[in-house]
Amino acid sequence: MAAYSFLTTWCVAAPLERVWDVLSDPERYPEWWKGVRKATVLEPGEADGHGVGTLYRLQWRSKLPYTLEFDSRVTRSQAPHLLEGRASGELEGVGAWRLYEGAAGTAAIYSWDVSTTRRWMNAVGPLARPAFAWNHDYVMRQGAHGLAKKLGAELVACD
């Protein structure tokens, strides 16, 4: 398996709670995040409203001619600051949103430490790593712009 580590920061001129409300609802990502083709709840999580244990099936597509599908189970949720999930399937690993509020709005920082499991991706990984990283960044930029539009807020930064 080829391992990848990504760190993305979005800064949106919107209150923390509004950003949290959107990011903590993956089932609705396809409504505003262009790269997300499908997001389906396979198993509901705890009934406490934090979603721990919820299992989602996510399907992603970007500029490169392939689709990725994987499951993600919410492993930690500390509203409105942390949402973490464990991926399994065509990607395996851990992703976590960390949200911080400041004078300019909310910073949403996403860390994504995953490995690919598809044979062809692992075979071409050493050569295609830059293209895979570019594709990830492209999808994340789509998400940043979609979030800002959904919130009716200015996207202050996307890195």
Please name which of 155, 122, 111, 131 lies closest in space to residue 63, comparing C-alpha atoms: 131
Compute the Cα dihedral for 139, 5, 20, 16 and give only its sign. Answer: negative
For range 87-98, the mean pLDDT: 98
pLDDT in tens, 101-125: 999 899 999 999 999 999 989 898 8
What CATH number should be reported for the domain holding residue 73?
A: 3.30.530.20
Per residue in 49-63, pLDDT (tens digit) is 678 999 999 999 988
Tell me which residue has tokens 């490995």. 115
Q: What percentage of the chain reaches a pLDDT higher than 90?
A: 85
Residue-number span of the structural domain to which 139 is assigned = 3-158
Number of domains composing the chain: 1
Long-range contacts of the stretch 50-54 (C-beta < 8 A, 24+): 50/74, 50/77, 50/78, 50/79, 51/24, 51/77, 51/83, 52/76, 52/77
Spatial contact of 72 and 54, defined as CB atoms under 8 Å apart: no
Helical residues (DSSP H) of the chain, grouped into ranges:
16-23, 29-32, 119-151
On the question of pLDDT at 23 being above 80, the answer is yes
